[in-house]
Amino acid sequence: MIEATPVPILSDNYAWLLREPESGLLAVVDPADATPVIAAIEAAIREKGGELALILLTHHHGDHVAGTDEVRARFGAAVVGARADAHRLPRLDREVAEGSEVDFGAATARVWETPGHTRGHIAYVFTEGEQGLLLCGDTLFSLGCGRLLEGTAQEMFTSLQRFAALPPATLVCCGHEYTESNARFARHADPENLDLMAYEQQVLACRAEGRPSLPSRLADELACNPFIRAPDVATLADLRTRKDYFR
Ligand code: ZN
Ligand code: FE
């Protein structure tokens, strides 16, 4: 299975550095800040060899794409992003849409269109038996979901339900380190959830040591995240509105 490492960038974003173990090839997801991303890629190449093959973009926001051209200029990798948003993404070498497959060494990512946060938001999904890796940008966060900036609660609901059907062992690679603050709202929304209480303690311990809380396991989101657990669109819409105003 692909190895995924979060690269902390900007104030609370992660770019994700991926290595496909058979080929040794590298990919980076949402390289919004070129300097730390280039340093992380160079360190990975020094350590284990390989080369950067792909730059995968999830959506058009600057805090996900701003470093793209600089990273491509340095390594010459192919930039992949949504055809629907090609007009507002950095220049794409490959435009993808629902069902596209992106080869990455011995692995293949499937592209899912996951609107809700933005209209052209896509996710990259790797599965291998009961293992999986989900690069979901700002659609799903640990214990939260993205704001509905360009999409509807119906769209977000559909996107989250698709994620929910992936193998529970799937590692969830989100675009932001929001888990600790998301936990406060999740606990407020679902005060009796013992799994959530235990998961929050784990997250607090992790953050207190300065480690990323991500990737999370899909099984934990299914047990603890009120947004992916919402049984219907109306519940999700209500949760999203309440969280927008939660302090
Ligand atoms: Zn965003
Ligand atoms: Fe973002």
Write down the pLDDT at residue 16. Answer: 99
Rounded to the nearest whole angstrom, what is the distance from the C-alpha of residue 61 to the centroid of ligand 2?
6
How far is residue 176's CA from residue 89's CA, in Å, rounded to a whole number? 19
Task: Establish whether 121 is a catalytic residue.
Answer: no
Cα atoms found within 13 Å of the Cα of residue 30, Cβ hemisphere only: 29
Average pLDDT for the chain: 98
pLDDT digits (tens, 9 = 90+) for 216-245: 999 999 999 999 999 999 999 999 999 999
pLDDT > 90: percent of the chain: 99
pLDDT digits (tens, 9 = 90+) for 56-106: 999 999 999 999 999 999 999 999 999 999 999 999 999 999 999 999 999
Write down the pLDDT at residue 247. Answer: 84
pLDDT > 70: percent of the chain: 100
Domains and CATH numbers, the chain: 3-244 (3.60.15.10)
Write down the pLDDT at residue 88. Answer: 98
Among the bound ligands, name the one nearest to the CA of residue 14: 2
Write down the pLDDT at residue 7. Answer: 98
Cα atoms found within 13 Å of the Cα of residue 15, Cβ hemisphere only: 32
Task: Establish whether 117 is a catalytic residue.
Answer: yes
pLDDT for residue 197 is more than 90: yes
| 190 within 8 A of 150, measured Cβ to Cβ | no
106-114: list long-range contacts, CB under 8 Å, 24+ apart.
Answer: 106/20, 106/22, 106/23, 107/1, 107/2, 107/20, 107/22, 109/56, 109/135, 112/159, 112/162, 113/82, 113/84, 114/139, 114/159, 114/162, 114/163
Task: Establish whether 59 is a catalytic residue.
Answer: yes
| 231 within 8 A of 150, measured Cβ to Cβ | no
Task: Establish whether 30 is a catalytic residue.
Answer: no
Rounded to the nearest whole angstrom, what is the distance from the C-alpha of residue 194 to the centroid of ligand 1?
30
pLDDT digits (tens, 9 = 90+) for 1-45: 999 999 999 999 999 999 999 999 999 999 999 999 999 999 999
Q: Could you give the C-alpha distances from 151 to 38, 105, 115, 203, in angstroms and in order?
A: 32, 34, 6, 29
Give the mean model confidence (pLDDT) for residues 49-54.
98
How far is residue 200's CA from residue 182's CA, in Å, rounded to a whole number? 10
**Spatial strand order in the sheet of 78-82:** 3-9, 13-19, 26-29, 52-56, 78-82, 94-96
Beta partners for residue 94, in sequence order: 80
Among the bound ligands, name the one nearest to the CA of residue 119: 1
Task: Establish whether 64 is a catalytic residue.
Answer: yes
